[in-house]
Chains A and B, each alone.
Chain A
Amino acid sequence: MRSVQEARQLRERAIALRRAGKSVRQIKEILGPIGNRTLHDALRGEPAPEWTLRPNAKDDLRAKARELRLQGLDYEEIVAHLGVSKSSVSLWVRDLPRPERVAPEQCARRTSERMRRYWAAERPVRAARRAAANAAAAACIGDLTDREILIAGAVAYWCEGAKNKPHRRVDRVTFSNSDPELISFFLLFLDTVGIPRSELAFQLQIHETADVPSAEQFWLVQTGARPEQFCKTSLKQHNPATTRKNISDDYHGCLRVDVRRSCELYRRIEGWASAVTRTAEAPDKPAAWATALLPGKDLNLHLTGPKPAVLPG
């Protein structure tokens, strides 16, 4: 321990050296072992000599950051303005007085503004990623064989078409959907099983509040059918308390596709669909009847039904 006397002497010598234009390091070398703390305490209030104030790489940014901080900006905003790291900003401005706390509303506004900015940039990125994943999966499907179209069409019908139920004993092909792609695929399916387009009748079912004529036009183009194949559009009553969201310009209502004289086709579809769903029941062994009836791999549309006239094969 130094005595008080010694300490005072040391301080005075340090100040003298400082005034003589020495840097802290040089003073330390002259005075011998002395703690940083002691030395800095001694030199407090003494301006550093000009030559030790060498420029730093971001002095201009630093000055600007301090200026912005004095205007009351927070770290994040300074970062956004200057494009430096938040930790640098912190080092540069932490000695300045903290700006007034912002009101909660303003805080919320800023947050939402930031969210908006984030999503404005992020949304297209994600959409592109989704679209890419989608397109990649779609690409691995490629063209379908007739058999594959048959399978997919029968399943689609089983999901969306009118079915024969215990309380509705009707065998008739009626398919309703709002998805234009699914409708055009169903038409492709009908082409594949050999139904001429002239055998089809269409009906648009749409909410009365929608733009009916343009929806009619839309489906006319979409199906490529003649206007006289469309029955009178069925209008659904508008429920004022509705919470339905499907009301954008993309809403074209539902299209019903009816196939005339389709009793037999209905029965076939039912058979195909049940065969498809039944594959889950006998997981690995192919059903005995299938191989017995149709040996070989080529199981495409060689129909053996009682009336093959409608169908190709």
Chain B
Amino acid sequence: MLRRQGKSLRQIREVMGPMSNATLNDLLRGEPLPPERAGPGYAESRRRISEGVRRYWDTERARRETARAAITTAAAAQMGPLTDREILIAGAIAYWCEGSKSKPYRLDEYVRFVNSDPSLIRFFLKFLDEAGVSPERLRFRVHIHESADAAAATNHWASVTGTPPEQFARPIIKHHTPLTSRPGGNTDYHGCLQISVAKSSKLYREISGWAHGVMTTKRQSAEGR
């Protein structure tokens, strides 16, 4: 009866004297909550929550992006222009990470660099220039999935490298495996560009030597800081 008057459990207990929640719940089973206590209902609360989250992120995302950009641009600004030596160091390390390497089971000293990042590709070209490689020694080739547009990708890389697309070797088409869950299915996908350098075993040895020199280096004592 008290419940039907819109009383809460606590108020009921005040009237009926000390009594455990369990007992009270047993007694009240089946009695609906009074409408002013019933709340907005499950679907409505979900909607309100997601609305709140959306509003929060609308402002928060932009704020975080700015904070993020502030740090990256400050770091980038701090770098400034690179000296020739720094370009060699950075290029050798980039090659060691992304270039083809001679292995004990595949002795192959040939400079071949594959990457999908246009800025890294451009940097590597700059590095090759710095290392004294003339542009005629470069060969370009696009590696791309068969589901993508190879011709468009070739044009894209042609503009990145500043080489006419006719000078590119026939693209290497990768078979599309429908099982893969590659998230890169966006319009930014241009495949990978392979840069090969003709007659490059000497250069390969230099690059690998530089990379080893960098990787096994010691920090220069305080003077450089």
Chain A window 272-313, contacts with chain B (Cβ cutoff 8 Å), 1 for yes, 0 for no = 101111111101001101110110000111111110000010
* Contact residues of A between 155 and 195, Cβ < 8 Å to B: 155-156, 158-160, 165-168, 171, 179, 181-182, 184-185, 188, 191-192
Closest chain-A Cβ to B100's Cβ sits at a distance in Å of 13
| Interface 9-residue window, one of B25-33, B48-56, B80-88 | B80-88
Chain A window 218-254, contacts with chain B (Cβ cutoff 8 Å), 1 for yes, 0 for no = 0000000000000000000000000001101010000
Are B210 and A147 in contact (CB-based, < 8 A)? no
Bound form: Cα–Cα A117–B43 in Å:
82
**Chain B interface SS verdict (over half):** helix
Residues on A with C-beta less than 8 A from B70 are 306
**A270 in the interface, Cβ–Cβ < 8 Å?**
yes
Are A138 and B209 in contact (CB-based, < 8 A)? yes
B209's closest neighbor in chain A, by CB?
A137
| Interface 9-residue window, one of B14-22, B133-141, B215-223 | B215-223
Are A294 and B212 in contact (CB-based, < 8 A)? no
Q: A181-B215, A277-B120, A290-B80 known; A267 and B125 CB under 8 Å? A: no
Closest chain-B Cβ to A226's Cβ sits at a distance in Å of 23
**A80 in the interface, Cβ–Cβ < 8 Å?**
no
**A121 in the interface, Cβ–Cβ < 8 Å?**
no
B182's closest neighbor in chain A, by CB?
A167
**Chain A interface SS verdict (over half):** helix
Residues on A with C-beta less than 8 A from B184 are 167
| Interface 9-residue window, one of B1-9, B89-97, B146-154 | B89-97
Residues on B with C-beta less than 8 A from A135 are 209
Q: A144-B89, A152-B214, A271-B74 known; A291 and B80 CB under 8 Å? A: yes
Size category of the B interface is 35 or more
Given A188-B219, A271-B73, A274-B119, 16 new contacts (CB under 8 A): A142-B213, A143-B217, A152-B93, A156-B93, A182-B97, A191-B219, A248-B104, A270-B72, A274-B72, A277-B122, A279-B123, A280-B126, A283-B126, A293-B77, A293-B78, A294-B77
26 residue pairs from A and B, CB less than 8 Å apart: A135-B209, A137-B205, A138-B212, A141-B210, A143-B218, A143-B220, A145-B225, A148-B85, A149-B219, A158-B120, A159-B94, A159-B97, A167-B186, A179-B215, A182-B96, A188-B219, A191-B219, A267-B68, A271-B74, A271-B79, A275-B76, A277-B122, A278-B123, A281-B119, A283-B126, A286-B81
Q: Contact residues of A with B, CB < 8 Å?
A: 130, 133-152, 155-156, 158-160, 165-168, 171, 179, 181-182, 184-185, 188, 191-192, 245-246, 248, 250, 264, 267-272, 274-281, 283, 286-287, 289-291, 293-294, 299-306, 312
